[in-house]
């Protein structure tokens, strides 16, 4: 039975390219072709083949027993460039390059002898030829078809130009990659199977490890790990991590063939097949031992420099110098956490006018900012390729506006406690990489340790200074005139005062003690402190009337060295000394008006600044104030601020004068007599009734202080066991001859204005008003009336 000729040779050769002229073919060929064409038409018109012909994405050609083309589909017409009429009846060699045509007959006869289906992609290098003479690679599937009309061959032809190009590009790429891998001597490159066994080995790997390829291929890559890593299952854990994350990078020790160790930077990347399943791993590592040693030496040097300074100001310069040795940069700053503010305060390590940031402090939030995220997560952050506006309202955006393009932000952690962040900035687009991050992280660790030490040293120094100040203060207090252990008296008036003291002492409320001079206001203040929860802390007092006005602010708030002429050293103020204790401001009415707002702010905000300093110092103080002045009148005369008055008068206590507690006088006389008798080594056991009666009748205008001083003089004068009191001192002075008072200028002015106002019936403005009659402006007259206390009811 005749067998149709296939479209291409079967021995791997390509189709020929010589053109075949239909007129040169034998007449017999055309007759047979016409007969076969009719049979092929019946075949292709059948329902079985119709859809196949029309919808196939590949070219389909039907040939007869002598290789004549009997039918083609539209894709064949489009692929080869001939019309259907031009192809029908022509030998299939028309579509082949002609240089292989002579050998084609033998191939056809071999196929006729053993017809079979030949699939695409069997390794043959086949070439098609278009009408314009152009050649292109093809894949061909041949399938014999036997029918009642005879035997045919179906040829499915596919243009594989794109695939061949891709294969060639891949081959060249693989060849180039192989050349690169073999040419890189500083990197070890190998491929691992899914279990971690070595499948390929580069020349660089052989040089670094000492293993030749034939020694290591097929071995497990764990043989390069140090024993301590093997003990914790590091190889399997790292492969698992690369499989899960796609890629891991790390630095650790590796072992050479001779047993020596080297520090390696390792990258392990997971490889997948076309279906996405794990196919193995690519491992690249390099020997960075020398770099590691240099870094360790540098970090050691940095650590030595940092730990040598505990002064915060000197420390900033040391940190900046150390970072610059490790990584060149443009700006660097520390942002340290301030717990009361719940924010970080940024401090430039060096002053840069071009940054536009203050040299002192800048507040960074701990949320909604890159620095805040690093502080909260404790993970470093690299930002490269920044543009203006990328950081929004964050203060660091100012750096970006000035040209900074890269930021490296690292957490400062000491003993598992976050202290803040270290910020390093550069104008380069991509200034920081993983190795920089690793090295700067080591520096950040040392910076954190140093800052923690410096803060602890500073706190210790502040505590020592505070304790020394308290010691000096208490030593001075031991020398003061009042040192009572208790308040003496049993009168109902005094008991009411003590009940008030007991009530308010348990709170932290501000207390205002009012009373005449010498009534014992300080004793009441001490009693409040001793009964409060602050009893174990310091009771600090300040007599506002005893300090010159110009020095009162320094005495109360303290000052820095050089804050004013004569400030040769730093001074801790009374307010700071009383931290967590009680501050007693005696004669508070004598505080200058210009100093009162600062005191009010310190009481309300619980913070203040020393003179000459911008650093805010938080303070926790319970305030007790005392005065013998009428603060209400001082407010009316604008000598005392209303807001400060009401801030002080949270809980007022009035200490009664001695004349209102006469029944306490005998107790006080006995108390003071024994006190000074013991101090003077005298034994006084009796007080004459007439002496006690005279002491009780006296009104004591100087109150308890006057009584104490009188008893002290009496003890000095006493020669025996009975108190000899100088009662002659208690006689009232002779009244002076009354002299008619001379009216002051102010009272005369007041009387004159009142007379004019009465004449005008209270009218101030207008041509008939008091202002016009006095020759004053209306506003001036109003001011004088307020100053002189003239109101409508006086007119």
Question: If you search the block for the tokens 């770099």, which residue do you land on?
Answer: 291
Contact 754, 718 (CB under 8 A): no
Phi/psi at 344 (5° precision) = -110, 140
How high is the pLDDT of residue 494?
87
pLDDT tens for each residue of 762-795: 888 877 788 888 877 787 888 788 888 888 777 7
Look up residue 68 and give its DSSP letter.
Answer: B
Average pLDDT over residues 79-103: 86
Average pLDDT over residues 297-310: 56
Residue 49, pLDDT above cutoff 80: no
Statement: 293-457 belongs to CATH 3.30.1490.150: no
Burial 518-541 (b: 16+ CB within 10 A, else e): bbbbbbbbbbbbebbebeebbbbb
How high is the pLDDT of residue 64?
82
Measured in whole angstroms, the distance separating CA 315 from the mean position of its chain's CA atoms is 21
pLDDT tens for each residue of 606-650: 999 888 888 889 999 999 999 999 998 899 888 899 999 999 999
* Non-local CB neighbours of 679 within 8 Å, separated by 6+ positions: none
| DSSP string computed for 93-137 | GGGS-GGGGGGHHHHHHHHHHS---B-S-SS--EEEE-TTS-EEE
How high is the pLDDT of residue 121?
65
- The CATH fold of domain 480-654: Rossmann fold (3.40.50)
Burial 247-261 (b: 16+ CB within 10 A, else e): ebeeeeebbeeeeee
Helices and strands of the chain, counted as H and E runs: 28, 25
Residue 281, pLDDT above cutoff 90: yes
**CATH code that applies to domain 166-287:** 3.30.450.20
**Of how many residues is the chain composed?**
795
Lowest pLDDT segment from 211-215, 223-227, 298-302, 553-557 = 298-302
Measured in whole angstroms, the distance separating CA 593 from the mean position of its chain's CA atoms is 42
Statement: 14-159 belongs to CATH 3.30.450.20: yes
Look up residue 297 and give its DSSP letter.
Answer: H
3-state helix, strand, coil in the chain (%, to 5): 45, 20, 35
**CATH code that applies to domain 658-735:** 1.10.8.60
Pairing of strands 198-201, 406-414: unpaired
CA nearest 128: which of 152, 160, 154? 160
Burial 215-246 (b: 16+ CB within 10 A, else e): ebeeeebbebbeeebeeeebbeebbeebbeee
Residue 378, pLDDT above cutoff 50: yes
Kindly state the tokens that stand for 373.
């995220």
Contact 263, 250 (CB under 8 A): no
Q: How many CB atoms lie within 10 A of CB 112?
A: 20
Measured in whole angstroms, the distance separating CA 325 from the mean position of its chain's CA atoms is 24
């Amino acid at each position: 039975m005749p067998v149709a000729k296939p479209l291409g040779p079967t021995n791997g050769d390509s189709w020929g390219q010589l053109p075949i002229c239909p007129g040169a073919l034998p007449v017999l060929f055309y007759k047979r072709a016409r007969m076969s064409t009719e049979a092929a038409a019946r075949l292709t018109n059948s329902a079985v083949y119709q859809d196949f012909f029309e919808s196939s994405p590949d070219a389909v050609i039907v040939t007869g027993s002598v290789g004549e083309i009997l039918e083609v589909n539209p894709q064949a017409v489009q692929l080869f460039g001939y019309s259907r009429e031009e192809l029908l009846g022509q030998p299939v060699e028309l579509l082949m390059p002609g240089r292989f045509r002579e050998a084609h007959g033998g191939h056809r006869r071999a196929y006729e002898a053993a017809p079979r289906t030949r699939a695409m992609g069997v390794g043959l290098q086949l070439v098609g030829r278009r009408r314009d003479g152009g050649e292109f690679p093809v894949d061909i599937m041949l399938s014999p078809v036997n029918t009642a009309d005879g035997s045919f061959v179906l040829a499915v032809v596919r243009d594989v130009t794109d695939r061949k190009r891709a294969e060639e590009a891949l081959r060249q790429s693989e060849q180039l990659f192989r050349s690169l891998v073999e040419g890189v001597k500083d990197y070890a490159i190998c491929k691992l199977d899914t279990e971690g066994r070595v499948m390929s080995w580069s020349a660089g790997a052989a040089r670094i490890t000492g293993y030749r390829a034939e020694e290591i291929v097929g071995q497990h890559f764990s043989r390069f790990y140090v024993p301590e890593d093997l003990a914790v299952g590091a190889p399997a854990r790292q492969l698992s991590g690369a499989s899960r994350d796609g890629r891991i990078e790390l630095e650790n020790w590796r072992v050479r063939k001779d047993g020596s160790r080297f520090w390696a930077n390792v990258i392990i990347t997971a490889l997948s097949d076309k279906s996405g399943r794990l196919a193995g791993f690519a491992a690249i590592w390099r020997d960075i031992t020398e770099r590691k040693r240099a870094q360790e030496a540098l970090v050691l040097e940095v650590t030595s420099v940092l730990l040598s300074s505990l002064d915060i100001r000197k420390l900033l310069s040391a940190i900046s110098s150390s970072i610059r040795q490790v990584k060149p940069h443009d700006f660097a700053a520390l942002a340290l956490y301030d717990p009361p503010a719940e924010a970080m305060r940024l401090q430039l390590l060096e002053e840069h006018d071009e940054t536009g940031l203050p040299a002192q402090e800048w507040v960074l939030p701990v949320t909604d900012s890159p620095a805040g995220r690093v502080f909260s997560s404790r993970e470093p952050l690299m930002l490269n390729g920044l543009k203006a506006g990328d950081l929004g309202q964050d203060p660091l955006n100012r750096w970006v506006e000035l040209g900074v393009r890269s930021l490296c932000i690292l957490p400062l952690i000491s003993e598992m406690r976050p202290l803040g962040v270290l910020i390093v900035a550069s104008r380069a687009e991509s200034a920081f990489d993983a190795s920089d991050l690793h090295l700067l992280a080591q520096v950040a660790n040392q910076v954190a340790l140093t800052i923690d030490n410096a803060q602890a040293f500073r706190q210790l120094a502040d505590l020592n200074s505070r304790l020394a100040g308290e010691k000096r203060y208490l030593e001075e207090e031991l020398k003061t005139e009042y040192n009572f252990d208790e308040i003496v008296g049993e009168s109902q008036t005094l008991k009411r005062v003590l009940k008030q003291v007991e009530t308010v002492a348990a709170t932290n409320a501000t207390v205002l003690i009012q009373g005449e001079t010498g009534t014992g206001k300080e004793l009441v203040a001490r009693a409040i402190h001793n009964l409060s929860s602050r009893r174990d802390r310091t009771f600090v007092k300040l007599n506002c009337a005893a300090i010159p006005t110009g020095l009162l602010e320094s005495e109360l708030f303290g000052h820095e060295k050089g804050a004013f002429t004569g400030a040769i050293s730093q001074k801790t103020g009374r307010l700071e000394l009383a931290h967590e204790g009680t501050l007693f401001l005696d004669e508070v009415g004598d505080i200058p008006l210009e100093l009162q707002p600062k005191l009010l702010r310190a009481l309300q905000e619980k913070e203040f600044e020393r003179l000459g300093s911008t650093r805010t110092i938080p303070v926790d103080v319970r305030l007790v104030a005392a005065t013998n002045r009428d603060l209400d009148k001082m407010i009316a005369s604008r000598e005392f601020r209303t807001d400060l008055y009401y801030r002080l008068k949270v809980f007022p206590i009035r200490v009664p004068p001695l004349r209102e507690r006469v029944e306490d006088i005998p107790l006080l006389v006995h108390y003071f007599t024994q006190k000074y008798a013991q101090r003077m080594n005298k034994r006084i056991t009796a007080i004459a009734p007439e002496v006690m009666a005279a002491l009780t009748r006296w009104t004591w205008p100087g109150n308890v202080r006057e009584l104490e001083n009188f008893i002290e003089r009496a003890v000095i004068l006493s020669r025996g066991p009975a108190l000899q009191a100088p009662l002659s001192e208690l006689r009232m002075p002779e009244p002076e001859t009354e002299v008619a008072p001379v009216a002051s200028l102010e009272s005369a002015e007041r009387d004159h204005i009142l007379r004019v106002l009465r004449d005008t019936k209270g009218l101030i403005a207008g041509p008939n008003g008091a202002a016009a009659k006095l020759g004053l402006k209306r506003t001036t007259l109003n001011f004088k009336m307020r100053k002189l206390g003239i109101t409508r009811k006086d007119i």
